Structure 1
Amino acid sequence: MEKKWWHNKVAYQIYPKSFYDTNGDGIGDINGVIEKLDYLRNLGIDIIWLSPIYCSPLADQGYDISNYYDIDPRFGTIDDLDRLIAEGKKRGIGIVMDLVVNHCSDEHEWFKKACEDPDGEYGKFFYIEDYKDGDPLPCNWRSYFGGSVWEKLPGHDDKIYLHVFHKKQPDLNWENPKLRKEVYKMINWWLDKGIAGFRIDAIINIKKKLPFSDYSVDGDDGLSSIDNMLKDATGVGEFLNELADETFRKHDAFTVGEVFNEKDEELPLFIGSHGYFSTMFDFSAESIKEDISPENYKNAIFKAHERVDGIGFLSNIIENHDEPRGVSRFIPKEDLDDTSKKMLAGIYFLLPGLPFIYQGQEIGMENLDKVNDINDLDDCANANIYETALHEGKTHAEALAHLINVTRDNARTPFQWDDSENAGFTDGRSWLMVNPKYKNINLAAQINDSDSVFIFYKELISLRKNPEYESTFVYGKFAPYKPAQKNLLAYSRVGEKSVMVIANYQKDAQTLSLPSKIKKVLLSNTSKTLDNSSFNSTEIVLSPYELLVVEMV
């Protein structure tokens, strides 16, 4: 594999609105990120991905962009961002922006001009169709947020436009070369400004199956999941290769794609040595539809990494701004504690690829336990989730309980800096409720506690960057170990060293036979295992949720 500058890095996702507020308006800001750069450097972070901070009406929390060339005043100014880029570089931290180009906001100048003249130049930047009341819609696709993907064009009773996401997020027409040229111009403007690269949002959606047609109805609403169309769409690679040629490759930029539905044979095209992107997120565990179990989790992540072996890097996560908190999702509620949180951290962090940490993950932030009213939350997807649950026969209380398990707001509650009011996030009134657990789960309580989740993440990062083991963790061969042993999650990383990551993913102890003796314990989430003298045989007993990272003889 050709070695790249980003291969040995550790990345950290910031959801700016909830990270740190410096002006008391209850919304996190760019200056808050600047103020916490030393904290992130101390943790060991090399790359920061900022969720969108462009001008936006925030219908979908900034993923509806009204001006790609400016910063929303809620977050600061372009000058603030320039300072963040400069201060990051001083600390060896690159800033990665969110690239949202499947759609823009209905308040973007392009869409306003399209509404003024649907048949003109800017009308062709979008998917606008003729329509009269009573006519069948061009297709029966369901938007990600529920309801039809078609909406009346403002100011026109005889026109409709396509929105795969929120109705305030009209899809951009990538079939139009003039649109693509404008997108590339914008991307290069940001890369010339000095950012390290982009996280690329919903990029597979840029290719639609045309002409528009219906798919099999799969809901009581008479509509069809957008996924059915995406499985049928072909040719997205032509767009992505042109995008990379015109922008990313010219700047040696780091890019991580939010990619779904890619086929095995397409993997080299996406993340190979000359791929469209540097890497793409591994959503295999997040995509588990059935009940989460240790076996489901193990099978998902092992299959994902075996699938890309020898092709390229995945970016590993247990959570992000679009998912509930990982520890609450992947660990049974009754077993959720610091030991099991550390176990989950060790499993995912030392897999091949690039580890991403989502803000608050490093202190073990958890889901909300309950809300009294749907209005206590904010996410635009909540209403559809709640109404669907009621439609399925759930009571109000049951629908709320379901919502609280799956809402994206779980990940968007403010970072828990300390146990003061608003968890130290703001001096004002927080834009979203603070998780009540902040009194017990917060950075101030952990930063100097050698047994804390935070210190464990710091040790994980330090181990991955240790010169003695770095090449093994970055480039070493990956192989599952005893995958058939129930609730055991173990794998080897073999390069200059031979390392094993071993996790007992259950509340009962279990015995494991090793292929050879342990030479050295590199990391453990339980203090008793740090005594090397206890490893004189090839058989070990693992305590509940015990994690071991060991160098083998």
Structure 2
Amino acid sequence: MKRQWWHKKVAYQIYPKSFNDTNGDGIGDIRGIIEKLDYLKNLGIDIIWICPIYKSPFVDQGYDISDYYSIAPEFGTMDEFDELLEEAKKRNMYIVMDLVINHCSDKHEWFQKALAEPNGEYADYFYFVKGKNGNPPSNYRSYFGGSVWEPVEGTDKYYLHLFAKEQPDLNWNNPKVKEELFKMINWWLEKGLAGFRIDAIINIKKDLAFPCYPPDGDDGLVSVTKMVEEVKGVGEMLQEMKQQTFDRFEAFTVAEVFNMKDDELPKFIGEGGHFSTMFDFSAHILTNGKNGWYDAKPIDFAAWRNVMFQSQLQCQGIGFLANIIENHDEPRGICTYLPKYAQGEAGIKMLATTSILLRGIPFIYQGQEIGMRNCRMESIDEYDDIGTKDQYKKAIEAGLSNEEALEVCYAHSRDNARTPMQWSGKDNAGFTKGKPWIKVNPNYSDINVESQMKDEASVLRYYQKLIALRKSEQYGEVFTYGDFIPAYLDHEKIYAYYRQLSNFKILVAANFGEKEMTLEMEHDRNEILLSNMDVSSHIGRKIVLKSCEAAVVYVGQ
């Protein structure tokens, strides 16, 4: 594998609206990110991915961009962003922004011009399609529920939106659209951006015949993913974008990719692939219900371990995945992947150990490093997320009570990850001196950065040690380039694997069960490099793991 500048890095995702507010308006800002750069550096972070801070009506939390060249005033100014780039550079850190180019906002100048002249030039920047027999062009259901087609007033046409109706899809078949988007990408890279997290990118390719499919629900619609999965040729569009933009700057790109075809992994993240890396969503997919959140089943440990290990083995020899426990679109990982008995500090450290040392690029989401948890809301009105409101409605329509539907939202809502970062035990968790835009999790007095910085045994301090071990001079090579080898698969509730490179071999083992487990070692010359519990550094032919215990063991060859 050709070595790249980003291979040994650790990344951190910031949801700016909830990160750190410095002007008291209840919304996090760019100045707040600058203020916390030293905190992130001290944690061991190299790459910072910032969710959208572009100008936007915020129908979908900034993933509806109305001006790709402007900073939303809620977050600050372009001068402040330039200052952020400069301050990050001083600390040898890299800034990555969201690239949202499958769709834009309905308030974008292009779409406003398209509506003003539905048969004009700008209508072809989008998908303005005639209906069929007085109905929409096809029977696709959007990712947020309801039809993907919205009538264009005063015409017999409809416009396409795979997400909210305020997020019209851009027409990648139009050379002018691609030219505009590539120009914008290069503008940001020339400014000093290190790269992009690329949103919903698999959706840019459409079947222009827009064929109907058999419905998969009582609404007579079929998930739009059916069309996305069936259509071919997205790779040509992605490769063109890479050649015209990313390649020119050695940019780091991490893609959000669902519905990829089984044989396309090398084309996406292999040598010369479309992207540097892509997120591993294999575990998240297990949380989906057949009809929605309301019929989703709790995570089964064996199934979870299996899909995680399968992902690791599939990408081995091809490229790197971006490994996550949670992000802004998911509930908190410790509430999803850990059983109730394991949701204390030991279990949180155990989950971190198994994730951070996987092969690939670790991505830590804000608050993950202190063990932030899901936030219980008292009513649906306390939620902001458009997807949560849709899923709540589905649950009620399926016959769940208000209390049951709220419990479903508590387990699955994206807003669980969007509650303000818990910096201290002061008012509003030290996030703002004003009124927070969304509820602060009441547990902030017990779970916050300030108190954990003072406690050497805290989750935060453990994350620091874990990241330091991964990046250490002695073991950094094996954790970056070493093979992933599953271990102890015959042991129920044991999550274990080796990382091996030439004469280095390290075992990462964790006991997700309630009972103590004993693992037979290959020899008696073993040294524990890190553990989430107090154990001696040298062990013999056996290692005994208590419930929720994790150990990183140097086993040599």
Q: Shorter-normalised TM-score: what interval?
A: over 0.9
Deviation digits for residues 52-85 of structure 1 (CA, Å, limit 9, x no counterpart): 0000000000000000001000000111100000
Q: Is the 8 A contact 2:130 2:137 kept in 1?
A: no
Instruction: Find the aligned partners of 2:149 and 2:537 in 1 and give their Cα distance.
Output: 64
Match of 2:507 in 1: 500
Q: Is the 8 A contact 1:55 1:67 kept in 2?
A: yes
Match of 2:83 in 1: 83
Residues 1:432 and 2:438 aligned together: yes
Alignment of 1:69-468 (within 5 A): 69-131=69-131, 135-153=134-152, 155-288=153-286, 289=288, 290-368=297-375, 370-468=376-474
Instruction: Find the aligned partners of 1:371 and 1:474 in 2 and give their Cα distance.
Output: 40
Q: CA deviation at 1:295?
A: 1.3
SS in 1 for 2:390: helix
Q: Is the 8 A contact 1:280 1:315 kept in 2?
A: yes
Instruction: Find the aligned partners of 1:342 and 1:221 in 2 and give their Cα distance.
Output: 44
Q: CA deviation at 1:349?
A: 0.5
Instruction: Find the aligned partners of 1:149 and 1:532 in 2 and give their Cα distance.
Output: 58
Equivalent position to 1:548, from 525, 548, 551 = 551
Q: CA deviation at 1:381?
A: 1.1
Instruction: Find the aligned partners of 1:482 and 1:407 in 2 and give their Cα distance.
Output: 34
Q: CA deviation at 1:448?
A: 2.1
Q: CA deviation at 1:465?
A: 1.1
Q: Is the 8 A contact 2:137 2:158 kept in 1?
A: no
SS in 2 for 1:192: helix
Match of 1:42 in 2: 42
Q: CA deviation at 1:130?
A: 2.6
1:250 counterpart letter in structure 2 = R
Instruction: Find the aligned partners of 2:542 and 2:304 in 1 and give their Cα distance.
Output: 25
Q: Is the 8 A contact 2:497 2:508 kept in 1?
A: yes
SS in 1 for 2:497: strand
Q: CA deviation at 1:268?
A: 1.1
Q: CA deviation at 1:445?
A: 1.0
Q: CA deviation at 1:118?
A: 1.6
SS in 2 for 1:494: strand
Q: CA deviation at 1:397?
A: 1.1
Instruction: Find the aligned partners of 1:343 and 1:307 in 2 and give their Cα distance.
Output: 24
Equivalent position to 1:480, from 477, 480, 486 = 486
Unaligned runs of 5+ in 2: 289-296
Instruction: Find the aligned partners of 1:216 and 1:399 in 2 and give their Cα distance.
Output: 29
Out of 112-121 and 423-432, give the one that drifted further.
112-121
Change (3 A) 1:295 1:182: same
Instruction: Find the aligned partners of 1:101 and 1:83 in 2 and give their Cα distance.
Output: 25
Instruction: Find the aligned partners of 1:230 and 1:517 in 2 and give their Cα distance.
Output: 53
SS in 2 for 1:151: strand
Instruction: Find the aligned partners of 1:372 and 1:351 in 2 and give their Cα distance.
Output: 37
1:483 counterpart letter in structure 2 = L
Q: CA deviation at 1:273?
A: 1.2
Q: CA deviation at 1:256?
A: 0.2
Deviation digits for residues 395-437 of structure 1 (CA, Å, limit 9, x no counterpart): 1111111112111000000000011110000000000000111
Instruction: Find the aligned partners of 2:378 and 2:49 in 1 and give their Cα distance.
Output: 33
Deviation digits for residues 213-248 of structure 1 (CA, Å, limit 9, x no counterpart): 111201111100112111101100010000000000
Q: Is the 8 A contact 1:518 1:550 kept in 2?
A: no
Q: CA deviation at 1:483?
A: 1.6
Q: CA deviation at 1:20?
A: 0.1
Aligned residues: 546
Change (3 A) 1:265 1:34: same
Q: Is the 8 A contact 1:13 1:357 kept in 2?
A: yes
SS in 2 for 1:381: helix
2:190 counterpart letter in structure 1 = D
Residues 1:52 and 2:55 aligned together: no
Match of 2:294 in 1: none
Q: Is the 8 A contact 1:264 1:307 kept in 2?
A: no
Instruction: Find the aligned partners of 1:294 and 1:497 in 2 and give their Cα distance.
Output: 29
Change (3 A) 1:330 1:181: same
Instruction: Find the aligned partners of 1:287 and 1:451 in 2 and give their Cα distance.
Output: 33
Instruction: Find the aligned partners of 1:422 and 1:518 in 2 and give their Cα distance.
Output: 50
Deviation digits for residues 117-152 of structure 1 (CA, Å, limit 9, x no counterpart): 1222111010002348x6121110000100000112
Q: CA deviation at 1:264?
A: 3.1
Out of 442-451 and 9-18, give the one that drifted further.
442-451
Q: CA deviation at 1:336?
A: 0.8
Equivalent position to 1:532, from 537, 540, 550 = 537
Instruction: Find the aligned partners of 1:35 and 1:513 in 2 and give their Cα distance.
Output: 48
Q: What CA RMSD, in Å, does the superposition of the two structures yield over aligned residues?
A: 1.1
Q: CA deviation at 1:455?
A: 0.5
SS in 1 for 2:285: coil
Out of 197-206 and 114-123, give the one that drifted further.
114-123
Q: CA deviation at 1:157?
A: 4.2
Q: CA deviation at 1:518?
A: 4.5
Q: TM-score of the superposition, structure 1-length normalised?
A: 0.97
Equivalent position to 2:475, from 469, 481, 490 = 469
Where do 4+ consecutive residues of structure 1 move more than 4 Å? none
Instruction: Find the aligned partners of 1:233 and 1:131 in 2 and give their Cα distance.
Output: 21
Deviation digits for residues 327-379 of structure 1 (CA, Å, limit 9, x no counterpart): 010011233100000000000110001000000000000001x3221111100
Match of 2:16 in 1: 16
Q: Is the 8 A contact 1:48 1:95 kept in 2?
A: yes
1:166 counterpart letter in structure 2 = A
Q: CA deviation at 1:490?
A: 0.6
Q: CA deviation at 1:488?
A: 0.6
SS in 2 for 1:139: coil
1:247 counterpart letter in structure 2 = T
Q: CA deviation at 1:297?
A: 1.7
SS in 1 for 2:88: helix
Q: CA deviation at 1:512?
A: 1.1
SS in 2 for 1:503: strand
Q: CA deviation at 1:156?
A: 2.8
2:162 counterpart letter in structure 1 = V
Unaligned runs of 5+ in 1: none
Instruction: Find the aligned partners of 1:465 and 1:386 in 2 and give their Cα distance.
Output: 43
Instruction: Find the aligned partners of 1:212 and 1:227 in 2 and give their Cα distance.
Output: 12
Q: Is the 8 A contact 2:330 2:417 kept in 1?
A: yes
Deviation digits for residues 184-231 of structure 1 (CA, Å, limit 9, x no counterpart): 000000000000000000000001122111112011111001121111
Instruction: Find the aligned partners of 1:427 and 1:53 in 2 and give their Cα distance.
Output: 21
